[in-house]
Structure 1
Amino acid sequence: MHDIRSIRENPAAFDAGMARRSVEPQSAQILALDEQRRALATRAQEGQSRRNEASKAIGKAMGQGDTATAEALKAEVAALKESLPALEAEEKAVTAQLNELLAALPNIPVDEVPEGADENDNVEVAKWGTPGTYAFTPREHADIGPALGLDFETGAKISGARFTFLKGQMARLHRALAQFMLDTQTTANGFMECNVPLLVKDETAYGTGQLPKFSEDLFQTTDGRWLIPTAEVSLTNAVQGEIVDNAELPLRMTALTPCFRSEAGAAGRDTRGFIRQHQFEKVELVTVCRPEESEAEHEKMVAAAEGILQALELPYRKVLLCSGDMGATAKKTFDLEVWLPGQGAYREISSISNCGDFQARRMNARYKPEGSKKTEFLHTLNGSGLAVGRTLVAVLENYQQEDGSVRVPEVLKPWMGGLEALTPLR
């Protein structure tokens, strides 16, 4: 959510920020509604004040025997009593219209975010590791996986497209990756482990920006709740409506959860394999901090995600997203893209965003700076540390052997009971 005061103070800068998001100028419409809302509020306040004054004056006039004045005042009070509800309802409607407009607009990118329309305009910041060489033609995970327990057919039979059934050593590898990530993020990187609800209310999905604009990307239950698309929703909303104790900041939280996405806008994309699923698991990282800390916390979160890839010895690159490719709530985003030799390409495995105070305004999440009597909005950040399924894909492709087996990364062996390799089930 945007600060209406900053739009009033510099509407041209706001429109310039929207232009970087390919959004038409909005300040004129916003300020017109804001002016209308404030005028209605002033009229309502003045009317209420006059009603109170007139009500008091009635008794005084009657006490003085001034019947005519008393009757005139009674008529005025009656008229105000009749007109004020309509005025207040009009103010409420205009406020709702203004809030609806503001809620649909994306965050403004910071200056260092490159201009661009889509992923082709993202900027590579760094690379880590060297893609391996193979004495054979490396295969994609969708070709390697089925013999090892990545069962696409059973998943589709049970639930339809974009669901997968994992069996045997494949299921264990998936669990090992998740536990390794969660243990690393808690013990090495200082994130507090949380176990969070998977079903959330409207206001919770609104707080992190999934509603109202992106409802088609979510699954909704029969009682009106929403399945979380990522633990970001539950973790970030832990501070919804709160004034967080300054001494508790920054809050760094992590959770391993199933995630549910309708993939409404992904028709025809990654229909084969384990890359884009309706249900998947992810270790989510969320930080809630003071405004002056958010840039450093962003770098810390990126490093925490990179550390998982480095420990697994998976080559990757770090990319700064352009203005047209960032999520709506972000003001700056880094993607980590892992090398997939079967595809011969880097693919996204983590996205880490600094949202500034954008989500905090929607959630009314604040803190009181030391020595201040006034509250300020917090900053929120979120990212993957990592997406478990995509990491599984990267392990399968990077550690594949010519005989169809897949070596277990050295760092995972304690979580795999010392198993050296995944071998065909039959």
Structure 2
Amino acid sequence: MLDIKWIRENPELLDKSLKRRYQEPMSAHIIEIDTLRRSAQTRLQELQNERNALAKAIGEAKRQGKDVPDLAQKASALKEMAPAIEEEERLHADRLHLLLSQLPNVLDDVVPEGRTDSENIEIRKWGTPRTFDFTPLPHYEIGEKLQGMDFDTATKISGARFVVLKGALARLERALGQFMLDLHTQEFGYQEVSPPLLVRDDAVYGVGQLPKFREDLFQTSDGRWLISTAEVSLTNLVRERILDEGSLPLRFTAFTPCFRSEAGAAGRDTRGMIRQHQFHKVELVSIVHPDAAETEHQRMVNAAETVLQRLEIPYRVMLLSCGDTSGASRRTYDLEVWLPGENMYREISSCSNCGDYQARRMQARFRPKNDTGSKNTTEFVFTLNGSGVAVGRALIAVIENYQNSDGSMTIPEALRPYMKGMKRISIHD
């Protein structure tokens, strides 16, 4: 959420950012509603001041034994006026809150212009795609031949966009998650967390997924939401808290199932595991001092890159264009992994700097160090999140990049300790 005071002082910057996101200007409308709200607040305060003055005058008159029916009548009239103004103020406040809750974050100046992912900018590449002496297959064909990937049974159980993994491939998925957790906790200092998978409205609202992305989420019959990413739970670990500056940065990681309705993905990636309703992901979340956010962003991208480097899978880093950057983010880098079965790069991680956008929605603050000893000054923390990385897509990338002509696949060296030394997955494993 954006600061209404900042919008009042910088309406042109808000509208410029909205224009870059291909949205209509909103500052004038927001300021109009805010002005009406503040006007109602002023009238309420003036009314209360007048009532207080009348009450004092009536009290003084009674002490002197005077009868002041005109003052009593006026006080009664003022009392009757208050509810209407209070309701007016409430309605304007609700309208303003709804407008602010739907606004996207203000984009960083370095974000490239562009409406779609085709206008994202490549920052760097790592690794060289393998040259095969046979035509490489997509992951779902390899997985089915290995008898470890069953889409038909999953469809019977749950419908489209689900998969049953079996045997060595199920173990490989688990190995990937464990490998990533070990890397992030032991080498990058993230604290492992096992968070709730079901969350309340406030938690989803806090990271900016409500109200705009309601259709992309699954909701239970009692009103809770299945997390679409562990970012929701991990970021909300600091909601409604005032942290000491000395405790920052806080870094959390979790290996969880994630659930997405894929409401806007009809007809896209219908085969295989690229776009599932249920998938596993290792998430990274950092809570930092505002001055440290840029450095932390690059550090997080490096952590995600290290996963792919250890797996020896080619990838590229992309800076997302204005139109492709999520609403909560100021700037986002995507890691796209090479998939020889598709002959293209596909996104496997997004690392975003959200500034204080989520912190304002969650009321997450820190108390700066100072020399005055004051305990009353607080600032909003900055939040960052990234996939470290999507486990299902990492499984796809390993299967496709390490496939062999005989239908088997080689296990990357980094994963062998998690597979009891197994070097290859064949049809009978």
> TM-score normalized by structure 2?
0.97
1:214 and 2:213 aligned: yes
Pairwise CA distance, 1:65: 2.9
Q: Distance in 2 between matches of 1:100 and 1:220?
A: 21
Instruction: Tell me how far apart the structure 2 counterparts of residues 244 and 7 of structure 1 sit (CA, whole Å).
Output: 26
Which residue, 394, 399, 411 being the options, matches 1:396?
399
Equivalent residue of 1:87, what SS? Answer: helix
Residues 14-59 of structure 1 deviation map (CA, whole Å, 9 limit, x = unaligned): 1111101111110100100111110000111111122122112211
Where 2:301 maps in the other structure, the secondary structure is helix
Q: Deviations over 1:75-131 (max 9, x none)?
A: 122112211122112101101101101111111111100000000000000000000
Counterparts of residues 150-189 of structure 1 (less than 5 Å): 150-189=149-188
Give the Cα separation in 2 of the matches to 1:107 and 1:121: 20
The match for 1:111 is 109
Greater displacement, 301-310 / 71-80: 71-80
- Name 1:6's counterpart in structure 2: 6
* 3-state secondary structure, aligned to 1:256: strand
Q: Is 1:59 matched up with 2:62?
A: no
1:80 counterpart residue number? 78
Deviations, residues 289-323 of structure 1 (Å, cap 9, x unaligned):
11000000000000000000000000000000000
1:419 to 2:406 alignment: no
Distance 2:165 2:227 in 1: 22
How far apart, CA to CA, are the structure 2 residues paired with 1:335 and 1:4?
A: 30
Overall identity of the aligned pairs, in %:
58
The residue aligned with 2:378 is 375
Tell me how far apart the structure 1 counterparts of residues 223 and 214 of structure 2 sit (CA, whole Å): 12
Instruction: Report the 3-state secondary structure (helix = DSSP H, G, I; strand = E; otherwise coil) of the residue aligned with 2:280.
Output: strand
- 1:191 and 1:16 map into 2 onto residues whose CA distance is 36
1 CA distance for matches of 2:307 and 2:236? 26
Q: CA–CA distance in 2 between the matches of 1:157 and 1:10?
A: 55
RMSD: 1.0
Q: What SS is found at the alignment partner of 1:324? A: helix
- What is the correspondence of 1:93-112 to structure 2 with a 5 Å cutoff? 93-112=91-110
Q: Runs of at least 4 residues of structure 1 off by over 4 A?
A: none
Aligned-partner Cα distance in 1 for 2:130–2:236:
42
1:245 CA drift (Å):
1.6
Q: For the residues of structure 2 that align with 1:272 and 1:358, how far apart are their CA atoms?
A: 36
3-state SS, counterpart of residue 139 of structure 1: coil
Q: Which has the higher mean CA deviation after the structures are superposed, 389-398 or 237-246?
A: 237-246
CA contact (8 A) 1:21 1:108 kept: no
**What do residues 192-246 of structure 1 show as CA deviations (whole Å, max 9, x unaligned)?**
0011011111111100011011100000000000000000000001111111121
- Aligned counterpart in structure 1 of residue 90 of structure 2, from 81, 89, 92: 92
CA distance in 1, matches of 2:111, 2:66: 72
Cross-structure match for 2:237: 238
Counterpart residue identity of residue 109, structure 1: L
**Aligned residue in 2 for 1:251:** 250
Q: Give the letter aligned to residue 171 of structure 1.
A: A
Question: What letter corresponds to residue 102 of structure 1 in structure 2?
Answer: L
Task: Give the whole-Å Cα distance in 2 for the aligned partners of 1:131 and 1:381.
Answer: 30
CA distance in 2, matches of 1:368, 1:53: 39
Alignment of 1:15-414 (within 5 A): 15-67=15-67, 70-148=68-146, 149-371=148-370, 373-414=376-417
Query: In 2, Cα distance between the equivalents of 1:108 and 1:209?
Result: 13
| In structure 2, distance between residues paired with 1:391 and 1:259 | 15
| SS class of match (2:234) | helix
Partner Cα separation in structure 2 for residue 244 and residue 63 of structure 1: 52
Deviations 1:344-402 (A, max 9, x none): 00000000000001111111111111116411111000000010000000000000000
Q: Give 1:43's aligned amino acid.
A: R
TM-superposition CA deviations, 1:251-298 (whole Å, max 9, x none): 100011110000000001100001100000100000011100000000
CA distance in 2, matches of 1:250, 1:381: 11
TM-score (norm. length: structure 1):
0.98
Checking the alignment, whether the CA contact within 8 Å between 1:232 and 1:382 is kept in structure 2 is: yes
Retained in 2: the 8 A contact 1:147–1:425? no
The answer to whether the 8 Å contact 1:123/1:319 transfers is yes
